[in-house]
Structure 1
Amino acid sequence: MHDLPADVSEAELREALLKWGVRSVSLAYAPVGFGDYHWSARDDEGRRWFLTVADLANKPYCGEGTTAAHAGLLAAMDTAGALSAAGLDPVLAPLPTLDGARLHRLGERYALSVQPWVDAPSGAFGQRLTARERADVMRVLASLHRSAPPAPAPVLPPGLPGRRRLEAVLRGADDGWADGPFAGPARELLQERAAGLRDRLEEFDRRVAALPTGAGALVVTHGEPHPGNLLWGPDGGFRLVDWDTCGLAVPERDLWHVALREDGGFDAEALSVWAEESGRTPDPSALEFYRLRWDLDDLCAFLDVFRAPHGRSADTEASWGWLRETVARLVDGGR
């Protein structure tokens, strides 16, 4: 996020860092990612950490409402911690506090997690991987998917957390819009394309019904293993960061991110690497389902941004552009 949260101060962050035994730090805001807020911290001895402040009011995939979202986010952080403790090297998990917690509440709305600083370059969302990089990431995912699910790992239902609000807007029955420069245009855009979006929701339901079920169908998934959540190691290996979306689901939830080609198809060669490493065969319908779910989930997230009070900023300008792109992709096709 480019905009800083209005109600989280650096003094509050420094006080919270004492829970990790981290003191005497300088902080620098890092305008990266979308949805959460990030800082780098450095102490007097040159040690560094990466801080993430999660907005619990905007994490419906962790739970509706700040209390449920905090519990869901904590389960995700504990899952990553357990995977790392079990020796899964590609997992860069948040650090525990001195009391063993991997999340610290900042008031009612926010929660802080602290990651070790890794001096390695990251990718960017939308970046295209080379064939070799795709194969390497598939091997990382296979090792994750083969791992024993830790006790905290939540089972992730495939449904859309924001679906009720989206359907109300498509029916023209949602009057819960706050003031903001993009509220009217967003509502008009969704209602203009309502027929096409309802068609995609019907397709979503058909594909949900076709998802693999039965013993062993669910594995530990990261949820968003795109290049923006990858760190390139000096030996060419990868580490996965940003574990707030992790949980138990079918492996295609991860695979489609890596296998998707620029022409909209899926890379059979990359998928074959995962199949060989995991001993499983990817399900084409499940790949298509999670690709569709990603766009519909984004649509719901942008809807929540513009239904809430907002101003004109770099983040809302970007969200308006992404909303239009997402609607066009869902209704008109193409990638």
Structure 2
Amino acid sequence: MGALLRQYRAGSALACEPVDQGLLNRGWRLCTTRGRFFLKHHFDPETATPAAIGRQHRATRRLAGLGVPVAPALPGRDGRTVVVIGGHCYALHPWIEGRHRHGGQLTEAQCGRLGALLGAVHAGLERVMPARGARPRGGPDPAAGVPDAGVSADPADTFALIDDLLGRVRRHRPADSFDALARHRLLERRALLERHAGRRPPRGGAVGWVHGDFHPFNLLYRGDAPAAIVDWDRLGLRPRAEEAVRAAAIFFVRPTGPLDLLRVRAYARAYRRTAGAAPSQLEAAVHRVWWERLNDFWMLRWHYERGDRRADPQFPAASALAVWWTREYDAVCEAFTG
């Protein structure tokens, strides 16, 4: 710790406490003789290169200049914001006091402000980041090595995955209630896909720079106002409207699976206005994210392939959402476009 702090003008450490670990990084709340900081250890192999982290830091610094609530990384003594020690990448950020809020805790007006905030992020990134097709300074194309975000899931691949997961569920011993729910949802999803296989969407729409992981645990509130958007590890070029829909599906899902469509409507109207997105773009994004949800089993793959159960608490609502969304497809479209 001392060697790392010497890279900054942050004083001497007085206390260091781990914060909840993310999937792409580890972090500590650090108190020093010069204040409080967030120390971040980037370790995800896809996002933890100095070039990629530096790109994230330049983006947040520029967004801060536009008034977007972020927590830009602090420069070290050499002016760089990424410190590499023992082959590991670290960054120091100011500590932001705040709390996370789910969409159900927001008023309708606050939902509108949330949509406007994401719209401001997309519009701001369009201003401060390299034009599409240009090579970003200090690193490779952020889409290089990443599966084509414009290609939708092939149901044939999903059917094979469902069969594999059903086999894993059958072999799991001792069987438990999670296995029973997983089996039920897998069989249910296979039937839905058989019924809707002809609705596979075409390639994605307008691509631009996006946060990449905009959800309640990456947004801090101080009182009623957003204080900071954090964890920019997935910054990249993706369909913007899909991020707006995907975020809403996380913020506004109820515990039993449905979306709170009144809140979605307020959020989506403000997003469209701020980002300059047409209703037709949101309609296409709704279709693509619905299809994505119908074909996605990452929580079950983590559980059965990796033995990682951190996402288990999210599975009941997320799996129910795909079924509800299919049934209420027209109402969901109207909420995002009306």
**For 2:32 and 2:243, how far apart are their aligned partners in 1?**
36
Q: Is the 8 A contact 2:152 2:288 kept in 1?
A: no
Give yes or no for the alignment of 1:123 onto 2:123: no
| Residues 104-150 of structure 1 deviation map (CA, whole Å, 9 limit, x = unaligned) | 55667x6433321123x222456532112122222222222223252
Q: 1: distance between equivalents of 2:80 and 2:197?
A: 37
> Is residue 19–residue 98 contact of structure 1 (8 Å, CA) maintained in 2?
yes
SS at match of 2:311: helix
TM-score normalised by L of structure 2: 0.66
Q: Is the 8 A contact 1:231 1:238 kept in 2?
A: yes
Residue correspondences, number: 296
Counterpart of 1:53 in structure 2 is 41
Q: Is the 8 A contact 1:36 1:53 kept in 2?
A: yes
Code of the residue aligned with 1:209 in structure 2: it is P
SS of match in other structure, 1:92: coil
Return closer, same or farther for 1:82/1:330 CA change in 2, 3 Å cut-off.
closer
User: Secondary structure in 2 aligned to 1:81?
Assistant: helix
Instruction: Provide the C-alpha distance between the structure 2 equivalents of 1:292 and 1:14, rounded to a whole number of angstroms.
Output: 49
Structure-to-structure mapping, 1:265-280, within 5 angstroms:
265=261, 267-280=264-277
Q: Where does residue 37 of structure 1 map in the other structure? A: 26
CA contact (8 A) 1:200 1:330 kept: no
Write the letter of the residue equivalent to 2:41: V
What amino acid maps onto 2:105 in structure 1?
A: R
* TM-score calculated relative to the size of structure 1: 0.66
SS of 1:228's partner is helix
**Counterparts in 2 of 1:288 and 1:303: CA distance versus 1, 3 Å:** same
Instruction: Specify whether residues 85 and 308 from structure 1 end up closer, same or farther in structure 2 by C-alpha distance, changes over 3 A only.
Output: same
Cα deviation, residue 183, structure 1: 10
Residue 286 in structure 1 maps to residue 250 in structure 2: no
For the pair shown, which has the larger CA radius of gyration, 1 or 2?
2
Aligned to 2:67: 89
- Aligned pair partner of 1:209 in 192, 202, 208: 202
CA distance in 1, matches of 2:24, 2:303: 10
Whether 1:137 and 2:114 are equivalent positions in the alignment is yes
Question: Which of 237, 240, 244 in structure 2 is aligned with 1:248?
Answer: 237
Name the CA distance, whole Å, in 2 between partners of 1:144 and 1:79. 13
Tell me if the contact between 1:170 and 1:190 (Cα under 8 Å) persists in the aligned partners.
no
1:28: how far off?
Answer: 0.9
Which amino acid is 2:276 matched to?
A: G
Please report the RMSD computed on the Cα atoms of aligned residues, expressed in angstroms. 4.5
Look up the equivalent residue of 2:122 and give its one-letter code.
H
Unaligned 5+ residue runs, structure 1? 1-12, 57-65, 311-315
* In structure 1, distance between residues paired with 2:174 and 2:47: 26
Letter in structure 2 aligned against 1:289: R
Partner residue, 1:313: none
Could you tell me how far apart the structure 1 residues matched to 2:102 and 2:175 are?
A: 26
Q: Quote the offset at 1:247 in angstroms.
A: 1.8
Pairs within 5 Å for 1:188-199: 193-198=185-190
Identity of counterpart residues, as a percentage? 19
Q: How many angstroms does 1:29 deviate by?
A: 1.6
Name structure 2 gaps, 5 residues minimum. 131-135, 329-338
Do the aligned residues in 1 keep the contact of 2:166 with 2:186 (CA within 8 Å)?
no
Q: What residue in structure 2 maps to residue 171 of structure 1? A: 163
Contact 1:88 1:144 in 2 (8 A): no
Measure the CA separation in 1 of the matches of 2:197 and 2:217: 26
1:167, distance to aligned residue in structure 2 (A):
6.3
